[in-house]
Chains A and B, each alone.
Chain A
Amino acid sequence: MSVVPTVFIIDDDQAVRDAVGLLLRTAGLTVETFSSAALFLESPAVRRPGCLVLDVRMPGMSGLDLQKQLQQQGCRTPIIFMTGHGDVPMAIRAMKAGAFDFIEKPFQGEALLGRVREALQLDTLERRRQVRRAAALERMALLSPREREVLERVATGQYNKVIAAELGISLSTVEIHRKRVMEKLQAGSLSDLIRTLALRDD
């Protein structure tokens, strides 16, 4: 997996692709261009970090179609749509479907650059969060059923005494379980524990 986040420009118009690519490269970004949604979908770029600058109206598979396809594949790369003059309804639909933003052609280079940078940042954060979540899930898998029951109750703020009564076990057993949960989840404090749980539930 390439570490450098990349801007993937997808537009059927060669000039737009070329010009926007040049603009973003000039700003020091890594850019790759695709002439159709289908070509992008078939390439390994789908899994790579970065963001999409996507033309909403294209022959064959449109930008909106690609957005739907990517969502179905669980790909959460942010998408900035480029729209034309009469494409406002399409832009609205794209936003409702979870697009990062849309930008109307012709656009100021700075405006696009700003949104692209934000999108890349979001993607980086998102991917980092994904990594953490994966780790959290991995650790959670180590817990025994009883430890998981104890964890659920600790997370909701119940006292050990109450937990012991509810589960019908002794207070010391609850404390042992709790200690083991903290170890397995590598949590130094209660707030660490809560955060790990939040990652799982995300």
Chain B
Amino acid sequence: MTDSKPVTLPENDGRSSAAAGASWDRSGRAPGSRLESLPSCYLQPIAITLLYGLAGLLWLLVGDPLATAWLAGAAPLAPADLPRSVLVLAASGGLLYGLLRIQAKATRRAMQARDLARDRAARQQAEDRLRQTRDELEARVQNRTAELLAINRALEQQIAARIQMEFALRDSEERFRQLTEHIREVFWIYGLAEERLIYISPAYEEVWGRSIQALHDRTLDWLEAVHPDDRPRLRIAHANKLESGFFNEEYRIIRPDGTVRWVWDRGFPIRDDSRHVYRIAGLAEDITARKLAEDQLRRQQVELAKMARLSLAVELASNMAHELNQPLAAIVAYTQACVALLRQDQTDPRELTGTLEEVAHQAMRAGGIIRHLRDLVRKHPTTQTALDLNALIRSVIDYAQLELRQADTVLNLELTEPLPAVLADDIQIQLVVLYLVRNAIEAMHQTEPGARGLTVRTAPADADTVRVTIRDTGHGLAADAVERLFQPFFSTKPGGMGLSLSVSRSIIESQGGRLWATPNPDRGTAFHFTLPCFVNPAGSSRSP
């Protein structure tokens, strides 16, 4: 029966509260928050409603045994008992309603108080936000003002700078004009689109001896001035210049008066914003003086090389004379022994065969020595071969043994083994080592005999050069003497010709090496030279 249900389920929008007992009463008014706990918030009001319903039913059962019995199906309900049961039911329903009303009122009050507090907080927040916004606005205005001031200042500065720049530009233009019109170099600008020289500085007239007007009239006028021998080369270079924008040539020009001048002419591409070459700027320089100096230097070098060969020849000749005397002495002694034997009647001439063969052999040996000497003295390109520098140094030291001993010099060989072979001319390098050793000995002339030490060291300098160092403990050199050492006819030694070091340097440099001197930290001087390593055509370097 419907009336037996004492309470209806209150409308429940799913609010839940921490206070379990009162939760369902105020749930209807709960503000929309914490929707996420929806399932659990239904449970409490339902449970409480059920509890209330159960209590009502209990109340009914206790208060009305007849109804209970009826409900239990034990006995039909008598019509006479009906009013009493209704009364009991109405009374319990009224009581329940009253309870619910009280509860609802209390809940409403509590919620009003909370909403009030929340509104206050919201207002406070809004006020805070408003204040903040106002502050920000003020700051922004200030910033903006500062910015505007800064922009203003910058503008003022820019204006000042621009004015200055204009002055500078005018100045720079002036300077450029002064430069191009007064320097001895010829400055030119070629326009690719125009296919002609846009600008050429007045020095052109001075260097070429031709008028700029003629050049402007006929673009190729400059080429006509070029020496006929250089003209084909220049024509090609000019064509390349138009292609690449680059130009770098040394050539001769013939001036109208017939004199020849050397010119070094260089050009560089000028690009527009789209990186497109549209002009070529260049500089042509009169290098006649330099060329002459170079020629003279080259002639001097040739002379020096000749001198080197000559001193080489002298050095070798005396060495060879000694060499030559050996087989000659042997030949004379052999033949005279043969003659003596033949005079002794009992000698069988056949016994002399071996001796005579030896004579022929020695004569051949003498011939070989002479041929070697002639080869060396004759002007022929140096014969570069793979050389074992250590072996070479040892043989030179052997040769200089006597000089070393006479000078009471203690020799110290620090030869790295194995040492990569170098590519050089055997005889010439021997001469250099000999010169340097002698130089060291002479440098120690005034050193007390106990302290005369000569060190010869070999070591790879890097992957493809070998360095030889010859160090003495002599009187050393003044700093300015170190470089002048290698100049011809410079000598710090009394009676020195001053040639051996310059000859040595030209020999070493002609073999692709370097020769230089450094003062030792303690005493004396060290001479170093490098030579390129021999690279086997097969690819790997080897030691002979």
Interface residues, chain A, with chain B CB atoms under 8 Å away: 13, 15-16, 18-20, 22-23, 25-27, 57, 59-60, 62, 64-65, 82, 84-87, 90, 104-110, 112
Contact = CB atoms under 8 A, between A and B. Distances in A.
B401 to A, nearest CB: 7
5 contacts: A15-B330, A19-B330, A26-B344, A90-B402, A109-B340
Contact of B333 (A22, A57, A85, A86): A22
B334 A22 contact: yes
Contacts of A18: 330, 358
Contact of B332 (A62, A84, A109): A109
Contacts of A57: 322, 402
A110 B336 CA distance: 9
Contact of B329 (A16, A65, A86, A110): A16
B332 A106 contact: yes
B178 interface: no
Given A19-B358, A106-B329, A84 B321 contact: yes
Contact of A15 (B344, B362, B405): B362
Contacts of A19: 329-334, 337, 358, 362
Interface of B: 318, 321-322, 324-334, 336-337, 340-341, 344, 355, 358, 361-362, 365, 398, 401-402, 405
In the A-B complex, the 3 residue pairs with the smallest Cβ-Cβ separation, listed nearest first, are A109-B336, A85-B321, A19-B333
Contacts of B361: 15
A109 B337 contact: yes
Given A15-B326, A85-B325, A62 B401 contact: yes
A65 B340 contact: no
Nearest to B399: A59
Contacts of B318: 85-86
Determine chain B's interface SS by DSSP, over half rule.
Answer: helix
B265 to A, nearest CB: 57
A45 B405 CA distance: 26
A162 B7 CA distance: 184
Contacts of B365: 15
Nearest to A55: B326
A23 B355 CA distance: 11
Contacts of B330: 13, 15-16, 18-20
Contacts of A65: 405
A22 B332 contact: no
B322 A86 contact: yes
A26 B337 CA distance: 6
A23 B398 contact: no
Given A22-B333, A22-B334, 7 more contacts: A16-B326, A18-B330, A19-B330, A84-B322, A84-B326, A107-B329, A112-B333
Nearest to A87: B322
A105 B336 contact: no
A112 B329 CA distance: 11
Nearest to A112: B333
A62 B405 CA distance: 10
B329 A82 contact: yes
Given A82-B329, A86-B321, A87-B322, A23 B401 contact: no
Contacts of A110: 336
A26 B341 contact: yes
B301 to A, nearest CB: 30
A202 B366 CA distance: 48
A105 to B, nearest CB: 4
Contacts of A20: 329-330, 333
A109 B331 CA distance: 11
A18, A27, A105 — which one has the most chain B CB atoms within 10 A of its CB? A105
Contacts of B334: 19, 22-23
Given A62-B402, A105-B328, A85 B362 contact: no
A105 B331 CA distance: 11
Contacts of B341: 26
Nearest to A85: B321
A105 B355 CA distance: 19
B405 A107 contact: no
A23 B327 contact: no
Contacts of A104: 325
Contacts of B401: 59-60, 62
A164 to B, nearest CB: 57
A87 B329 CA distance: 15
Contacts of B358: 15, 18-19
Nearest to A17: B330
Contacts of B333: 16, 19-20, 22-23, 106, 109, 112
Contacts of B405: 65
A110 to B, nearest CB: 8
Contacts of B398: 59-60
Nearest to A14: B330
A110 B340 CA distance: 10
A59 B326 CA distance: 14
Nearest to A109: B336
Contact of B326 (A13, A60, A64): A13
B334, B344, B361 — which one has the most chain A CB atoms within 10 A of its CB? B334
Contact of A108 (B321, B326, B332, B337): B332
Contacts of B327: 15
